[in-house]
Amino acid sequence: MLTPFKHNRSMNRLTSEQRAAVVSCLIEGCSIRSTVRMTGVCKKTVMRLVVEVGAFCSEYQDKAFRNLHCQRLQVDEMWSFVYAKAKNVTPEIAANHIAGDAWLWVAIDAETKLVPCWYVGQRDAIAATEFIQDIESRLANRVQLTSDGLRLYLDAVVDAFGEGVDYAKLVKYYGNASDEGQKRYSPAECTGAEKIRVIGDPDPKYISTSYVERQNLSVRMTNRRFTRLTNAFSKKIENHAASVALGYFAYNFIKIHRTLRMSPAMAAGVTTRLWEVADLVAAWEAWGQRQERAA
Whether 157 has a pLDDT exceeding 70, the answer reads yes
Q: How remote is the C-alpha of 208 from its chain's centroid? A: 19
pLDDT class of 7 with cuts at 50, 70, 90: very low
SS3 271: coil
Whether 183 has a pLDDT exceeding 60, the answer reads no
* 40-44, 50-54, 161-165, 174-178: the lowest-pLDDT one: 174-178
Q: Give me the helices (H) in the chain, please.
A: 16-27, 32-39, 43-64, 91-96, 125-137, 152-161, 180-185, 210-222, 237-249, 264-267, 277-294
Whole-angstrom Cα distance, residue 149 to residue 217?
20
Q: How remote is the C-alpha of 204 from its chain's centroid? A: 27
Q: 44 Cβ partners below 8 Å, 6+ apart? A: none
Whole-angstrom Cα distance, residue 86 to residue 19?
34
Q: Which residues are registered as beta bridge partners of 100? A: 82
- Per CATH, is 9-294 categorized as 3.30.420.10? yes
Helix-, strand-, coil-residue percentages of the chain, each rounded to 5: 50, 15, 35
β-strand 72-78 against 144-147: which pairing, if any? parallel
Whole-angstrom Cα distance, residue 272 to residue 267?
9
What pLDDT, in 10s, does the model give residues 39-56? 999 999 999 999 999 999
The domain segmentation of the chain, as residue ranges, is 9-294
State pTM to two decimals.
Answer: 0.89
Mean pLDDT within 103-123: 96
The phi, psi pair for 205, rounded to 5°, reads -65, -25
What pLDDT, in 10s, does the model give residues 230-242? 777 888 999 999 9
